[in-house]
Amino acid sequence: MATIPRTAPCRHRLTVSDFHRMGEAGIFALGDRVELIDGEVIDLSPIGAIHAAIVARLTAFLCRSVGSGVIVRCQNPIRLDDVSEPEPDIALLRPRADGYMSAHPGPEDVLVVIEVADTSLAYDLGVKVPLYARHGISEAWVIDAATRQTRVFREPSTEGYRRESTVGPEETLASAVLTDAAGAAVSFALAQLLPPQP
């Protein structure tokens, strides 16, 4: 009897253009939360109350702190390459003359990405953070909504971030790339922005 060769099935990777056409064709229902990661459509978790509160308060704080020298975008796409268009909870961007109306920001536009993890901690740390590092985004933060701890990643490389630290909710988190109007590093303790854990 002849041996049947066994090969793994090939995945069909979508491009960002394919992903956008799917949206335009109505393949995704209104309100679907999806993002394209390495050519695959990923369903995002529903936004819980704690997650929403952290994102809202941190966005308001950053808008006040960074001034006009940085654009703060909340839960909007960044196009990393032809097969990845994630939607970080917050992206801090360099200003661009067109205000990003002609195209989504690319890696060269992004100063810091922030993910707030309620049910998505493993995904954020295992998939999205390495993706951001591979595309040279200089700083990424992952805030654990349950513990209010923030994992800070710096010095990106194709293998991942070279530096990682954990900042507790009462400790000061200072950005290496963001400055306020006076030129001081933007810093805060998450406990200042949020009510105590229930």
Domain ranges of the chain: 47-193
Pick the CATH number of 47-193 from 1.10.3720.10, 3.90.1570.10, 2.40.50.140, 3.40.1180.10: 3.90.1570.10
Residue 103 has pLDDT above 70, yes or no: yes
- Tokens 């933007």 correspond to 186
**Secondary structure (3-state) at 116:** strand
Q: What are 59-101's pLDDT values in tens digits? A: 999 998 888 889 999 999 999 999 999 999 999 999 999 999 9
Spatial separation of the C-alpha atoms in residues 85 and 87, rounded to whole Å:
7
- pTM for the model stands at 0.90
pLDDT at 53 over 80: yes
Higher pLDDT, 117 or 45: 117
- For residue 196, the model assigns a pLDDT of 65
Q: Could you tell me what percentage of the chain is helix, strand and coil, using 3-state DSSP and rounding each to the nearest 5?
A: 25, 30, 45
Q: Is it the case that residue 8 has pLDDT exceeding 80? A: no
The mean pLDDT of 130-140, rounded to a whole number, is 97
pLDDT (0 to 100) of residue 106: 97
3-state SS of 170-194 is CCCEEEEEEECCCCCEEEECHHHHC
At 12-35, the pLDDT tens digits run: 789 999 999 998 898 888 788 999
- Containing 123, the helix (H) or strand (E) segment is helix 121-123
- At residue 46, the pLDDT reads 84
Q: Stretch 162-176: mean pLDDT, rounded?
A: 93
The stretch 1-14 carries a mean pLDDT of 71
The pLDDT of residue 195 is above 70: no
How confident is the prediction for the chain on average, in pLDDT? 90
Whether pLDDT at 6 is above 80:
no
Give mean pLDDT, residues 128-135. Answer: 98
Lowest mean pLDDT among 2-6, 41-45, 84-88, 178-182: 2-6
Which residues, 6+ apart, have CB-to-CB distance to 188 below 8 Å? 61, 65, 172, 173
What's residue 5's pLDDT? 65
Three-state DSSP state, 55 = helix
Backbone φ and ψ for 93, nearest 5 degrees, come out as -120, 150
